[in-house]
Amino acid sequence: MINFTEIKKQLLICIFVIFVFAILPFFLTQRYLLGEVIVFFFWAMVAMNWNLLMGHAGVFSLAQMLFFAIGAYGVAMAITFLGVSIWVAIPLAVLTSAIVALIIGLACLRLTGAYVALLTYAIAETVHVLIITDTECFTLIRNNCQQLFGGYAGFSRFDDFGFRPLLKRNWILGNYYAVLFAFALTIIIIIMIIHGRLGLAFRAIRDNVGYASSRGIDRKKYQVAAFACSAFLTGLAGAMYAGHFRFAGPSLFDFSTLMFVLSMVVVGGIGSTWGPLIGAGVMMTVVELSKGMGDARNLLLGIALVIFVVVLPKGLAGLAGSILRRFRKRVEAKT
């Protein structure tokens, strides 16, 4: 049974969130803050996708940043080597990301639980190592050696969305709305999946594989679908990232980047709907504030991960939910 009112309610929240972000640039005119909101879109997209995969489908994949990187590298390589426009490069990169995910998913999702986590982590790390140890020149660009996958330096200074000549000084607004469009698309699709039939199947598998499969839900098929879906949207986030920053490099694979996104999911609440969005905002604010106290980013990430997992495994969304329930009970008791 699908709860139609639930999905409608969530979509309304979704439209409200998008609306708020759409009118935000009228109040927020500082370019730096707008840039920060764009970065927030990227991380929120990755975190929500990861939550879809980890919290709802029960696939503990650690390759989330790999698909982000495929999106970013795909755009960078298509522009640098094929010379195509970014609007062609983005769909290409996103499709590549989904296809790679399909292959990795088919190989890894024969296994379950911790095995999946370790294999996906090993695959992502292998790609990382292969990229940074690559020293062979593929072509020469502006008389500089350009490796096929960018090597240690990665790709930079390729064409972006092209809003600079169009909007002149307000080019960041163009980027803002382009990324917001991708963000809106991502959250609408994720809400439709989570609160639709697919999400029900995902959670059935996560909660009890045996019962779900006896009801005709094939674990492998649905988990591979979740894996590819999440990689598709994560690839989109990565492609937009490359378009905004004009950069794709091995730093995307850093363990601390992975932990940063993981902390957003954990702090927000694994298995919730809106938790990762809240988590992304909270963690970005915390890291931003900590910049004043020297380089404490990784320390804070680690402490946040440990404390939340031990004390609040359901995250801020779970905490808000239980407070709300308690409040409701008290109101009911009074009346």
Partner 1 sequence: MDVLIQIIITGITLGSMYALASVGLSLIFGTLGMFNMAHGLFMTLGAYAAYSAAISLKIPLLLGIFIAMGAGALVAIVTHLAVVRFMLGNSEFGMNVLVATAGIGIILEDLLLKIYGGYPYPQVLKVEGLVKIANVAITYQAIIICLVALLLISSIAFLLMKTRLGRGIRATAQNRDAAMLMGVKSDTVFLQVMALAGMLAGVAGLMISTQATLSPQMGGDPLLKAFVICVVAGLGNVWGAGLCAFGLAIFEATIGFYIGVRFGFPAMLLLVIAVLIWRPQGLFGQEKVVRL
Q: Is 22 exposed, middle or buried (0-12, 13-18, 19+ CB in 10 A)?
A: middle
All residues at 6 or more sequence positions from 249 whose CB lies less than 8 Å from its CB, including other chains: 150, 153, 154, 155, 156
- CA–CA distance, 14 with 20 (Å, rounded to integer): 10
| 83, 165, 210, 216: which one binds partner 1 (CB under 8 A) | 210
**Whose structure tokens read 């995910």?**
101
Counting contacts by CB under 8 A, is residue 304 touching partner 1?
Answer: yes
Torsion of the alpha carbons at 183, 187, 192 and 197, rounded to the nearest 10? 120
| 17, 173, 286, 305: which one binds partner 1 (CB under 8 A) | 305
Closer Cβ to partner 1, 134 or 159, answer by number: 134
Part in contact with partner 1 (CB under 8 A); list of ranges 141-149, 273-281, 295-303, 315-323 = 295-303
Part in contact with partner 1 (CB under 8 A); list of ranges 154-162, 168-176, 276-284, 293-301 = 293-301
Closer Cβ to partner 1, 6 or 288, answer by number: 288
Note the helical H segments in 133-218: 164-167, 171-194, 197-207, 209-214
By CB under 8 A, what part of segment 59-88 binds partner 1?
60
**Whose structure tokens read 């969130």?**
17
CA distances from 45 to 41, 108, 146, 149, 188 (A): 6, 24, 30, 24, 11
- Mask 159-178, x = binds partner 1 (CB under 8 A)? --------------------
Q: What residue type is assigned to position 118 of the chain?
A: L
Closer Cβ to partner 1, 62 or 187, answer by number: 62
Give least dist CB 85 to partner 1, A: 33
Counting contacts by CB under 8 A, is residue 123 touching partner 1?
Answer: yes
Closer Cβ to partner 1, 15 or 299, answer by number: 299
Closer Cβ to partner 1, 84 or 129, answer by number: 129
Number of H helices, E strands in the chain: 14, 4
**Whose structure tokens read 């292959």?**
103
**Whose structure tokens read 């969005």?**
277
Give least dist CB 262 to partner 1, A: 7
Give least dist CB 60 to partner 1, A: 5
Binding site for partner 1 (CB under 8 A): 54, 60, 107-108, 110-111, 113-115, 117-119, 121-123, 125-126, 129-130, 133-134, 210-211, 214, 255-256, 259, 262-263, 266, 270, 298-299, 301-306, 309-310, 313
